[in-house]
Structure 1
Amino acid sequence: MADIEQSPTSAEEEAARAKEKAEQDALPYKWTQTISDIDITLTVPGNLKARDLVVDIKKLSVSAGIKGQEPIIKGDLPHAIHVDDSTWTLTSAPDGNRTVEIHLDKVNKMEWWPHVVTAAPKIDVSKIVPDNSKLSDLDGETRSMVEKMMYDQRQKEMGLPSSDEQKKMDILKKFQEQHPEMDFSNAKIN
């Protein structure tokens, strides 16, 4: 008899979320991500200056910490980043400590990362609910492509032709008007 795979119960799901949160909270750094970048935050003593830190950002690895000590974060990245567009800053925190903020610019802007460094515990990326981006945030070409897709989706939902289908019908109509002597009764548009 075949085993039937069952979806997790809400209690199992809740336990998995709690375990994931505990693993992430135990990391010596905090991290967040958008679909296009990763932001890592490390807390260091308030008397430190940038020269007291060692931050090394490479295409497939990151390391950051206090000079002469084990790095706070060190490891291989799960995916490539744009090194030239990745940065780090040292800022004062309200509690008297300082914060090292590392910004990593993802090469693949269509992929969620399960962790910052491959040795760290993973998060379940299937549970990520992205913020809705605004069309105004997109570059011109991407924005027009998304607007076209949205228009075509609305047209499809209403049973109307897509923009490409409408364009073909307009061309055929114009051609028919220019050539009334031709019979288009059996014409098919693909």
Structure 2
Amino acid sequence: MVDKDPTPEQEAAARAKEAEEQAALPYKWTQLIDELDITISVPGNLKSRDLVVDIKKQKLKVGIKGQEPIINGDLPHPVHVDDSTWTLTSAPDGTKTIEIHLDKVNKMEWWAHVVTDAPKIDVTKIQPDNSKLSDLDGETRGMVEKMMFDQRQKEQGLPTSDEQKKADILKKFQAQHPEMDFSNAKMS
């Protein structure tokens, strides 16, 4: 059986289910290719000493002392603990927010979820902010753009940039050597 691309209706239903699952989480999170940020609203009378925020290389525990943790689980990928931070900020409405910043070890990988037991998002649907691409140095930006191009090509069943380059080299070589038989040539 051949996998069919989802219909626009199935795609919309999947997006709606994902949005619903994410909205039900007791925290909000966003990510860039190299970092992840989590925000959690807590009562305004809390102080930082009332909180438990434990960031480990591949574990995260966040909560209010004496209560069930809000987040307690394994991270899907490692983080740089020394470069990850958290703060407690006050909002004008009297509530407070725990803001957690996680610095990803692999700066070329999207996360499907914050902790492994949370609902996943479809990372293939992430559209990086182009203004952020412009912040990258030339070499990194080139790698990210190549990865994005190759991902789109694969989704459409088309050759990746490396596969296309090999095919172009073979085609050029064939043109230079018409006397040779390339009928059994294999690309690998």
**TM above 0.5, one fold?**
yes
Given the alignment, which residue of 3, 6, 12 partners 2:4? 6
Change beyond 3 A, Cα 1:97–1:10? same
Residue identity matched to 1:143? G
Q: Which has the larger radius of gyration?
A: 1
Q: How many equivalent residue pairs?
A: 142
Per-residue deviation, 1:146: 5.2
Show the counterpart of 1:63.
Answer: 61
Change beyond 3 A, Cα 1:144–1:25? closer
Show the counterpart of 1:118.
Answer: 116
Per-residue deviation, 1:5: 2.1
Show the counterpart of 1:83.
Answer: 81
Secondary structure of 1:120's aligned partner: coil
Secondary structure of 2:19's aligned partner: helix
CA distance in 1, matches of 2:3, 2:139: 43
Show the counterpart of 2:21.
Answer: 23
Report the TM-score when normalising by structure 1. Answer: 0.71
Report the TM-score when normalising by structure 2. Answer: 0.72
Per-residue deviation, 1:4: 2.9
Per-residue deviation, 1:83: 0.2
Given the alignment, which residue of 41, 44, 51 partners 1:43? 41
Residue identity matched to 2:26? P
Per-residue deviation, 1:93: 1.6
Per-residue deviation, 1:9: 0.4
CA distance in 1, matches of 2:141, 2:22: 35
Secondary structure of 1:54's aligned partner: strand
Q: Is the 8 A contact 2:50 2:65 kept in 1?
A: yes
Change beyond 3 A, Cα 1:57–1:16? same
Change beyond 3 A, Cα 1:4–1:146? closer
Change beyond 3 A, Cα 1:10–1:108? same
Residue identity matched to 2:59? S
CA distance in 2, matches of 1:26, 1:64: 17
Kindly report which structure 2 residues correspond to 1:32-181, keeping only aligned pairs within 5 A, or say none: 32-132=30-130, 133-135=132-134, 137-138=135-136, 142-143=137-138
Secondary structure of 2:38's aligned partner: strand
Per-residue deviation, 1:95: 2.3
Identical aligned residues as a percent: 69
CA distance in 2, matches of 1:130, 1:94: 31
**What is the aligned-residue RMSD (CA, Å)?**
1.6
Secondary structure of 2:22's aligned partner: helix
Residue identity matched to 1:44? V
Instruction: State which drifts further: 79-88 or 126-135.
Output: 126-135
Residue identity matched to 1:107? V
Residue identity matched to 1:40? I
Q: Is the 8 A contact 2:79 2:104 kept in 1?
A: yes
C-alpha distance after superposition, 1:105-128 (max 9, x if no partner): 000000000000000000000000
C-alpha distance after superposition, 1:4-39 (max 9, x if no partner): 321100000000000000000000000000000000
Change beyond 3 A, Cα 1:145–1:80? closer
